[in-house]
A and B are shown apart, each in its own frame.
Chain A
Amino acid sequence: MTAKTLRTGPGRLLVAVYGVFALAATARGVYQLATKFEEAPVAYLLSVFAGVVYLVAAVGLARAGRTSRRIALVSCSVEMVGVLAVGAAGLLFPSAFPEDTVWSGFGSGYLFIPLVLPALGLWWILHVHRLDRDPEIP
């Protein structure tokens, strides 16, 4: 079987973007937790959580194998749900999220990349998955 992995082709770029986002979200969250935890603990914990999910997704995409693919699929799904849920929650209950996280406002603080990224990630994982099952698709 050909070693078609998630990290080649467009996946290469995807892993790079995920890596940078993992770093950005985690570092920001940890900094916020360390310096001003009392102000908005939920938002800051969410930042760290988002960062960890990005990190898991980056590693899942970068590694070969069935388990990694499943991990990438789950973490991209969590992101998709996360950015939609937090974006919607921010609209419905603005007071619940006093501080911005990467997922606030559907990722508007980061050029909506947090919204587009999981969609691209899911598309890529499913695309590679289909290629594996049916090598005829170009």
Chain B
Amino acid sequence: MVEWLTMTIQMVSLAMAGWCLVSTFRDQPMLVPHLVGMGVLWLLVIGQAVATVATMVGGDTPAETAMFVSYLATVVLLPPACAVWGFMERSKWGPAVIAFACLILPVLFVRLEQLWSPVA
């Protein structure tokens, strides 16, 4: 886990959540800018996952590997799954789905760091 990347992901995720909540309350559906934002967030998460897997391949593994990997898989899959699900909905509830996903993501990263935070 690259620490500054985790911080960035959490900040971007919360910003996305705030933005999508505003869209929800303004009665706007999910638009292409939202999708681009989710894409950027997803790339950051993938970057973090790749860096983490690289560390693990390098021989340094967490104590509870199975648990850690399942959390890692969840954070990688959550943004695209929710983005698709939200984008299918053409009402204000589309951004609401993204807001939910973006509020869950930072919490998942806190759990990930609790499970394993190797000192780089």
- Give the Cβ gap from A25 to chain B, nearest Cβ, in Å: 13
- Residue of A11, A16, A23 near B100 (CB, 8 A) is A16
Counted as pairs of residues, one from A and one from B, with CB atoms less than 8 Å apart, the total is 41
Q: Quick one: given A23-B74, A31-B67, A31-B70, are A12 and B89 in contact (CB under 8 Å)?
A: yes
A20 — nearest CB in chain B belongs to which residue?
Answer: B104
Interface of A is mostly: helix
Q: Which of B59-95 contact A (CB under 8 A)?
A: 66-67, 70, 74, 78, 81-82, 85-86, 88-89, 91, 93-94
Q: A9–B104 contact, CB under 8 A?
A: no
- Cα separation A13 to B89 with both chains bound (whole Å): 10
| A: number of interface residues (CB 8 Å) | 15
Chain A residues contacting B85 (CB-CB under 8 Å) are 12, 15-16
- Chain B residues whose C-beta falls within 8 Å of the C-beta of A9 in the assembled complex: 89, 91, 93
Query: In the complex, what residues of B have CB within 8 A of residue A31's CB?
Result: 66-67, 70
* Residue on A nearest B95 in the bound complex, by CB: A13
Is the beta-carbon distance between B70 and A13 smaller than 8 angstroms?
no
Residue of B nearest to A34 (CB): B66
> Are A12 and B70 in contact (CB-based, < 8 A)?
no
Complex CA gap A13/B86 in Å reads: 8
Known pairs A19-B81, A31-B66. 8 more at Cβ < 8 A?
A8-B89, A12-B86, A12-B91, A12-B93, A13-B100, A20-B78, A31-B67, A31-B70
Q: Nearest 8 CB-CB pairs, A to B?
A: A12-B89, A12-B93, A16-B97, A13-B96, A13-B97, A9-B93, A13-B93, A27-B70
A residues lining the B interface (CB < 8 Å): 8-13, 15-17, 19-20, 23, 27, 31, 34
